[in-house]
A and B are shown apart, each in its own frame.
Chain A
Amino acid sequence: MQSEVSMNCIFPPELNEAQILAYLNGATDKQVIHHLERCPYCREKMEALDTLGKQLAGRFYRVTCPAPLDLGEYLLGMMSDARAQEIAKHIVECPHCAVEFKELRDASRQEFPSREEKPIGDTLKGLWHNLADVLTGRLVTGPTLGMVGVRGSGRRPLIIEVEDFHIVLDVQMAAEGRVTIGGQIASQDLDMWTGAHVELWQAGDNRRATIDDLGTFQFEGALVPGPAELLIISPKGKAITVPNMELVV
């Protein structure tokens, strides 16, 4: 019967498939290597076997492996006994699933949400969408430009009006052109705001403070003058937002 390959082996006996497969698996039989270097017929056989092997490997890679979520549900003990046994047997046999199972186990042991990597600024903003009772503060007075450094000029604080009470922000000059901010809630129901969480949002920066039992708060460190947004959330979930502020001394 005529072979599909037009040539014959030029150095008989031709290599058999076991030898070729061993070569493709990395065996270093010098005679086989030498034969393949010199014989186009056997080299073509080798390439055909290699191609078939790669086709099958590409086609069937991980075909019997459970999906990662199945491995995860097995990890969490959420499967029936029969299915859990199948997966346990598979993990023993399959090196890839053994690695993925370990990766899932490591992931399941991590803290989520993570206290250590509490997203800066995301907490209040994330809370924002879930809060129904949000008030918007209105800036009623602010400092006059150019008055800093002028003797006798003093400073005019930022006063924010919110329903029936006020928030006063004292913006003071600091080193290198920056500012520090102290605040005061002026309200008849000060208890409601004691312990409230305060965030000052600026592009690329976010500062936090807590309102004490005197209604005061202070942002640590100096801030850059410019646009800012103030957010306050009380322990009982009442919230205030003051957008479009300008921190200017």
Chain B
Amino acid sequence: MNPNNTPPGNSRKLALTDLAQHCALETELYYRGQPYDPQFCFEMFRRAFIEADQHAWDRIYTQYQLQAVRWVQRDPLFPFSSQEAQDFVNLAFAKMWTALTPGKFARLPDLKSALAYLRICIKSVILDDRRIRKWVELGYLDEVDPDQGGTDSGNTPEDHTLQAIEREKLWRLVEQQLHNENERLVIVAIFVYGMKAQEIYKQFPNRFSNVAEIHRVRQNVLDRLRRNLKFRDSIR
């Protein structure tokens, strides 16, 4: 049902400008709690992701970005973050544009699911920010100054990506030194998840006799790693 009585499915024939206008009006009806027709807004998503129509994507951004900013501002993690709400929104839209392939879009049957994906993109960039802040806190990354594109030591977002690639390479080296599932579990739990031995034992009581065994497993693996030249050179 829509105020202009456009038959269902007719949205595909509309010019983008008209489509965007209908989408705006139907969204207004949605806000007022009145019956609304989602086909127009969903058609803009379809054109953006199936036909790779950048102009349709621009219209979607215009339609939803203000509400997205407010959504970010309400997020409990936002007060602790390092970025402005608009920055998160821009990152989220960029993430959706690159991540949502035509194959994935085919799994979104309607406007509600497309907006759920947008919502997930918004939350995910906020979670990305929290992970990065944790790495900075652990001393692994320097803070990035977005105004200057990096710190004095040259830590730009691109540097972060390169560091991520390097650490994945180093991690694969570590994995090659692990002899069994218990060793994998201990090393992953301690160094990837940041768990203490007592926490590991509590979570996996059937895998280890006691906490001391977890310490022994860790010690054996670290000894093995320290004897590995490649690993020693990489960790410096």
What residues make up the interface of A, taking CB atoms closer than 8 Å to B? 17-18, 21-22, 25-26, 49, 52-65, 67-69, 71-73, 75-78, 93-96, 100, 103-104, 107-108, 110, 112-115, 117-119, 122-123, 125-127, 129-133, 197, 233, 235-237
Contact = CB atoms under 8 A, between A and B. Distances in A.
Given A235-B3, A236-B3, A237-B21, A112 B71 contact: yes
Interface centre among B95, B107, B191, by most chain A C-beta atoms within 10 angstroms, is B191
- Among B118, B188, B216, max chain A CB count under 10 A is at B188
21 contacts: A57-B138, A58-B135, A60-B192, A61-B191, A61-B194, A62-B131, A62-B192, A69-B99, A72-B124, A76-B117, A78-B117, A104-B127, A108-B123, A113-B30, A114-B67, A119-B66, A123-B27, A127-B24, A130-B59, A131-B24, A233-B28
Nearest to A97: B193
Given A62-B131, A117-B74, A131-B21, 19 more contacts: A21-B218, A22-B212, A58-B138, A59-B170, A59-B235, A68-B124, A71-B124, A76-B116, A76-B117, A93-B188, A100-B127, A108-B116, A114-B67, A114-B70, A119-B67, A127-B27, A130-B17, A132-B17, A235-B25
Nearest to A197: B28
A105 B223 CA distance: 41
Interface of B: 3-4, 17-18, 20-25, 27-28, 30-31, 33, 59, 62-64, 66-68, 70-71, 74-75, 95, 99, 104, 107-108, 113, 115-125, 127-128, 131, 134-135, 138-140, 167-168, 170-171, 174, 185, 188-198, 211-212, 215-216, 218-219, 222-223, 235
Given A18-B219, A119-B67, A110 B119 contact: yes
B42 to A, nearest CB: 14
Given A57-B138, A73-B104, A113 B31 contact: yes
B185 to A, nearest CB: 8
Nearest to B59: A130
Given A78-B104, A115-B30, A129-B62, A61 B218 contact: no
A67 B120 contact: no
Given A21-B215, A237-B21, A78 B188 contact: no
Contacts, number: 196
B40 to A, nearest CB: 10
Contacts of B121: 69, 72
Contacts of A125: 66
Contacts of B21: 130-133, 237
Given A68-B124, A108-B116, A57 B62 contact: no
B62 to A, nearest CB: 5
Contacts of A65: 192
A17 B67 contact: no
Contacts of A108: 116, 119-120, 123
Contact of A59 (B63, B108, B123, B140): B140
Contact of B198 (A26, A54, A94, A117): A26
Nearest to B58: A129
B219 A25 contact: no
Contacts of A117: 70, 74
A9 B35 CA distance: 80
Nearest to B119: A112
Contact of A130 (B24, B33, B128, B174): B24
